[in-house]
Amino acid sequence: MSGTPRDIRTTWRRWIYAIPARLKAIFRTRRVEEDLDDELAFHVAMQTRANAQEGMTEGEAYRQARVEIGGVEQVKERSRDVRPLRWARDAMQDVRYGLRGLRKTPRFTIAAVLTVVLGVGANATIFSVLNPLLFKPLPYPEPDRIVNVFRTSPQSDRWPHSMANYLDHRARNTVFEHLAALMWENASFADPGQPAERLFELRTTGNFFALFGVAPLMGRAFTDADDHDGAEPVVVLSYGFWQRRFNGDPGIVGRSMRLDGRTATVIGVMPRDFEYPLFWGSIDVWRPFAASAELRQNRGNNYLREFGRLKPGVTADQADDVMKAIGKQILAENTTLDQRESMRIESLHIVNPAMRRISMFAFGLTFLVLLIACVNLANLQLARTAARAREFAIRGAIGGGKGRLLRQSLTDSLVLSVIGGSIAIPLSFWCTRLIATQQFADLPGVRVTLEPITLAFAFVCAVVTGLIFGAVPAWLASRADLNDVLKQNPQSMTAGRGPQRFRQGLIVAEIAFALIILAGAVSLVRGLQRITAVDPGWRPDGVLTARVSLDGPNYSRLETRRAFFETLRDRVAELPGMSRVAVASSSVPTMPFNSSTTFRVEGREEPVLAYNERVTPQYFDTLGIPLRRGRLFTADDRAGRTPVMVINETMARTLFPHDDPIGKRIGFRGTNPNWREVVGVVGDVTFPSFAASLSVDTAFEVYQPLAQTVIGGANILLRTTREADAVASDLQRVVATLDRDVPVYGLITGRAAEERQTANLRLLANVLGGFALLGLVLAAVGIFGVVSYSTAQRAGELGMRMALGARQSVVLWLVLRQGVALTMIGSGVGLAGGLGLGRVLSSVMPNLPAPELLIMVGAFTFMVAVALAAFSIPAWKASKTNPMLVLRHE
């Protein structure tokens, strides 16, 4: 308020008067307005009388009095400005006024609201789906201090570690508060008298819980003291498992469980949030490694994931340097290790970097859709502002401040945004639910939900959209010359050179954006199709597979395991309807084989990395992998006979381009190569690389007879004509007769396994396709709307031309000419943008085939066709109008 009060006493006293005055101004607006009218009327009356006394005529005296006051309405406006909450009253009025305006122009309202709904809805939905994957930190204290530690080699930069290496890393590093190692495992859990159940477990080092920094819900978590050979076996339960299997029994701590045929004591239960299946997969129990002395010295088997918690103040880059140095030391000390290996620190994200990049890319495309929506709205609003030019001019002339008018435009836009947003939010809620239940149903724990942050995001989208598309037309309108407009020239606002350029620019932008989205989505979808359409090299139809785990001390001997699997295979083969039965170390090859090994080829210096799959003789027939040369395994390829192997075509062709691969010898690295003779060459099995974390280690595949190798858990694979359900119960029964402690699980048909792998790809393709379509529809609607409007504006001129004898075709061309030019410019820009996007795409996803020129040309042609259609419909309509009608209207 006025002046700066310098005395406390005066400040409080004035409120005695100020508060009632303000309350009245706020709550009794009508009364205050009447008072204002009366007060000014009184002033004018007094002044009129005074003027008359000075000798003016009565009319002149009155007129002069009104002039002197500077316009009664203007004074009122300025007086209203000093009242409190002026903005709120104005806003209310603007909103009411805006709503009334929208009701009067239903077609504009529907188009605009629909645009907001589609643009914002798509963004909110995709944000909901991607938010937990991309932006949410892991639910652990100071998650940015937790990092992955990977081993790298020329083949991959995400390799696991051996136990001995891990122990060295842990002992030598100076950068981690904790460095833990873990592996995903399966445990067999058998309560007396119940069928064995397979559990998902994490075997971890003792410092695991300390690293992740979450206290147990009940009991205690294990520590390093529980993690040594010979320690009392302990187990920590996940919340989900505790609820599911023990109904949340509060007395669970201290109970014992039979795990892998041994007894372990339950020492604690972790809180629900700790599981975070999105990152870990579903986990039932955690157990310490309690590694034996022998295991602790093992440097050859790499199966450990390492996680570190950085010391406060240590950056990931510093840790990276330190770990690289330690890795180098270890290599120098152990010359049998592959000397090309190194170490790498990667910050912890829920999804791997490649998937992150793809998701970001999809997100970018959605954003482009929103951009098109904005352009559309700006265009629609521009047209509407033009139609309302006279109204605005009149309001300006009778005292509406320019700022006020600008605000009315913005309010209109915001009202539209809020209406659109409030439809878009429940809609995207529904879409999110649909995606969550349709696509992520079998991914445990992926909670795709619409959260407050998403709502906030959607709302910000809606509001920002509103401001963008409201501000520009309002600004243009505020620049218009009042006199021009009042002189019956409503087009002057938007038909002027500046605004017209602006509108053309919007159309060009719209066409360009739509083409970029189209090109991006089409090349991505085509790329995904080509990945999924790749011949897998085996025949999934009629194949069934299930996993059998042999865990615990009963199966610690290789011979016992081998014998179990061979008996199992024979028993299953006796079941009705089995045409082929095999046991293998990996499941059906919808994902890369479980392990890869560095081999050495006799007579060659450099090591060769190949997948290392262990199979029984009927494996190839079961999956339908064709033999190319030599022979497959037979029952005679047993322990004690000549060690043999079968390799795939690509490996044979690459390693032995000129010789017959049959009879060549391939062995292992280290002092004792254990040479194996190549006896056969089979067709390549192709993994859907895209789905499987985007990196396939190698194109080489080696198969060894199960009877001659080491194997832990295994998969049973069958080719059968029977239904999966019927086979499942048979399998359970067969396994139970062999050992009731052994769980059979994960029964799935080959086709289903394949579909599961490509589900994400198909989702991505559908989403992208949907966006492209959405962008295209929005752009077409936008172009159509704007061109219709501007053609309608020229109706008078066109009618005149036709009345004077211009032929229909001439008029048509007149309207189309501009459209063709704009389409060409827009498509050109879009094509360049699309090619640029292709570059980005191929750097983001190196596995993806490069965008084809044909696709770009196709997208270009399609876009031009859509744009020209959008131009010609209003043009054609204009050329059809009866000139007399137009002229009469004029």
Interface ranges with another protein (CB under 8 A): 1-3, 5-7, 9-11, 13-19, 21-22, 25, 35-36, 38-40, 42-43, 45-47, 49, 68-71, 74-75, 78-79, 81-84
User: Given the structure tokens 């876009």, which residue do they identify?
Assistant: 863
Residue 343 contacts residue 179 (beta carbons within 8 Å): no
Comparison of 26 and 354: residue with beta carbon closer to another protein: 26
Burial 279-295 (b: 16+ CB within 10 A, else e): ebeebbbbbbbbbeeee
Nearest to 699 by CA among 628, 586, 596: 596
Nearest to 224 by CA among 174, 180, 162, 255: 180
Q: How far is the CB of 786 from another protein (least distance, A)?
A: 38
Q: How far is the CB of 73 from another protein (least distance, A)?
A: 11
Nearest to 848 by CA among 518, 369, 357: 357
User: Cα–Cα distances in Å, from 300 out to 303, 668, 748?
Assistant: 10, 11, 33
3-state secondary structure of 35: helix
Comparison of 16 and 533: residue with beta carbon closer to another protein: 16
User: Given the structure tokens 């066409």, which residue do they identify?
Assistant: 511
Q: How far is the CB of 53 from another protein (least distance, A)?
A: 13
Q: How far is the CB of 467 from another protein (least distance, A)?
A: 25
Comparison of 20 and 626: residue with beta carbon closer to another protein: 20
DSSP track, 701-760: EEEEEGGGS--SSEEEEEEESS-HHHHHHHHHHHHHHH-TT--EEEEEEHHHHHHHHHHH
CA distance 412 to 567: 77
Nearest to 824 by CA among 784, 864, 781: 864
CA distance 816 to 749: 58
Q: How far is the CB of 478 from another protein (least distance, A)?
A: 17
Which alpha helices (H) appear in 533-617, and where do they start and end? 558-574
Tell the burial category of 335 from Cβ atoms under 10 Å away from its Cβ (0-12, 13-18, 19+). exposed
Q: How far is the CB of 67 from another protein (least distance, A)?
A: 10
Long-range contacts of 439-447 (CB under 8 A, 24+ apart): 439/759, 439/760, 439/763, 442/756, 443/277, 443/278, 444/277, 444/281, 444/282, 445/275, 445/276, 445/277, 445/278, 445/282, 446/132, 446/277, 446/278, 447/132, 447/278
Q: How far is the CB of 484 from another protein (least distance, A)?
A: 24
Q: How far is the CB of 89 from another protein (least distance, A)?
A: 14
Nearest to 518 by CA among 778, 323, 158, 141: 778
Q: How far is the CB of 483 from another protein (least distance, A)?
A: 21
Comparison of 71 and 663: residue with beta carbon closer to another protein: 71
3-state secondary structure of 161: strand
Q: How far is the CB of 404 from another protein (least distance, A)?
A: 12
Comparison of 2 and 737: residue with beta carbon closer to another protein: 2
Q: How far is the CB of 403 from another protein (least distance, A)?
A: 10
Q: How far is the CB of 38 from another protein (least distance, A)?
A: 7
Nearest to 201 by CA among 161, 243, 256, 260: 260
Q: How far is the CB of 45 from another protein (least distance, A)?
A: 7
Comparison of 14 and 557: residue with beta carbon closer to another protein: 14
364: left (phi over 0), alpha (psi -120 to 50) or beta: alpha
Residue 110 identity:
I
In the numeric block, which tokens belong to residue 623? 């999956």
Nearest to 130 by CA among 779, 768, 845: 768
Comparison of 84 and 261: residue with beta carbon closer to another protein: 84
Comparison of 482 and 627: residue with beta carbon closer to another protein: 482
Comparison of 90 and 637: residue with beta carbon closer to another protein: 90
Q: How far is the CB of 22 from another protein (least distance, A)?
A: 6
In the numeric block, which tokens belong to residue 184? 């995903």
Comparison of 2 and 672: residue with beta carbon closer to another protein: 2
Comparison of 42 and 430: residue with beta carbon closer to another protein: 42
Comparison of 396 and 782: residue with beta carbon closer to another protein: 396
Comparison of 83 and 344: residue with beta carbon closer to another protein: 83
Comparison of 35 and 229: residue with beta carbon closer to another protein: 35
